[in-house]
């Protein structure tokens, strides 16, 4: 297993971290029905939860494509770690309601994912 593949696992699990802050405000029998009524920290936690799932597929695909095309690569491992750091910062800024830092971290993560995806084309 490469560092980048471990980062895919971490990225898959990250969305569940902020959900704990919102879950106590939701009906356990129908949690999605209560999401629109969330406010404050719980609403931001649910938003961070959803955004984590939105960012994950492209990142996972980029890492897999990079490995298929070029094989294990130290650069991709570092880029994947940087993506995890950007996503952790995004989550923290989302919970703290800190704009434009939240958006900046989102776009850093997106840019890192694009670089991971196209990296094999330049080697």
Buried-state track 29-49, b at ≥16 Cβ within 10 A, e below 16: eeeeebbeebeeebbbbbbbb
Write out pLDDT tens, residues 48-90: 999 999 999 999 999 999 999 999 999 999 999 999 999 999 9
- SS3 assignment for 34-66: HHHHCCHHHHHHHHHHHHHHHHHHHHHHHHHHH
Q: Cα separation of 33 and 30, whole Å?
A: 6
CB count within 10 Å of CB 79 equals: 22
Q: What would the CATH number be for the domain defined by 3-122?
A: 1.20.120.550
pTM for this predicted structure: 0.94
């Amino acid at each position: 297993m490469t560092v980048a593949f471990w980062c895919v696992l971490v990225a898959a699990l990250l969305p569940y971290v902020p959900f704990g802050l919102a879950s106590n405000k939701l009906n356990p029998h129908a949690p999605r029905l209560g999401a629109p009524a969330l406010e404050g920290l719980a609403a931001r936690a649910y938003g961070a939860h959803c955004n984590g799932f939105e960012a994950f597929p492209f990142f996972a695909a980029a890492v897999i494509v990079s490995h298929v095309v070029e094989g294990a690569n130290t650069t991709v491992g570092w880029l994947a770690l940087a993506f995890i750091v950007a996503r952790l910062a995004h989550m923290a800024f989302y919970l703290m309601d800190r704009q434009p830092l939240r958006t900046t971290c989102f776009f850093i993560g997106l840019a890192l994912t694009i670089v991971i995806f196209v990296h094999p084309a330049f080697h």
